[in-house]
Structure 1
Amino acid sequence: MQWFGPTSVEEGSVKADIDLRVGGRYRISFNADGNYNEVGGVYREVVPNERLVFSWAWHSTPERESLVTISIRPEGSGSLLVFNHAQFVDAAARDNHERGWTEFLVKLEAYLA
């Protein structure tokens, strides 16, 4: 929760309810740019230290479900994270998520530094 979301996420506003297992659900809420946001989904694949696959849908548009796949593998003295978010309803949704996830990954990198 310390590094979740784009840079516009208000510090201390992130709340998460996570049941990390295949078939388990998650729900994450946060404030950004003065707006309340809530996203959730179901874990479809959980391979510790290797792979995480889950559905992704905003509370306001549950019919617009997409799919996130995160893979991690050793590389050199560190790890390589491969992030894929697919099955968007349109190009605008894809582009908005790309912006948000890019900021999210920058925050994660800073947190791990």
Structure 2
Amino acid sequence: MQWFGPASVEEGSVKADIDLRVGGRYRISFNANGDYNEVGGVYREVVPNQRLVFSWAWHSTPERESLVTISIKPEGSGTLLVFNHAQFVDEKARDSHERGWTELLARLETHLA
């Protein structure tokens, strides 16, 4: 929760309820730019230290569900992370999520440094 979300997430506002198992649900909420945001979904695949697949839908637009796939594997002295978010309703949604995930991954990189 220290690094989740885009750069605009208000410090200390992230809350998460996670049942990390196939069929388990998650819900994450946070404040960003003065707005309350809530997203959730269902874990479809959980392979420890390898792969995580889950649905993604904002509370405000639950009918616009998309799919996130994250794979990790050892590479050299580090880890290769492959991130894919697909099945967007339109290009605007895709582009918005690309910005958000890029900022989130930058925050994660800073957190791990």
Q: Distance in 2 between matches of 1:5 and 1:84?
A: 16
Provide the residue aligned with 1:32 in structure 2. 32
Q: Which runs of at least 4 in structure 1 moved beyond 3 Å after TM superposition?
A: none
Match of 1:105 in 2: 105
SS in 2 for 1:88: coil
Aligned length, in residue pairs:
113
- Show CA shifts across 1:19-75 (max 9, x none): 000000000000000000000000000000000000000000000000000000000
Tell me which residue corresponds to 1:43: 43
Could you say which residue in structure 2 is the equivalent of 1:22? 22
SS in 1 for 2:107: helix
Who is 1:10 aligned against? 10
Query: When the two structures are superposed, what TM-score results if normalisation uses the length of structure 1?
Result: 1.00
User: What SS does the corresponding residue of 2:103 show, helix, strand or coil?
Assistant: helix
Provide the identity percentage: 88
Is there any run of 5+ residues in structure 1 with no aligned partner, and where? none
Within 1, Cα distance between the matches of 2:82 and 2:3? 18
1:64: which partner in 2?
64
Q: Tell me the SS of whatever aligns to 2:83.
A: strand
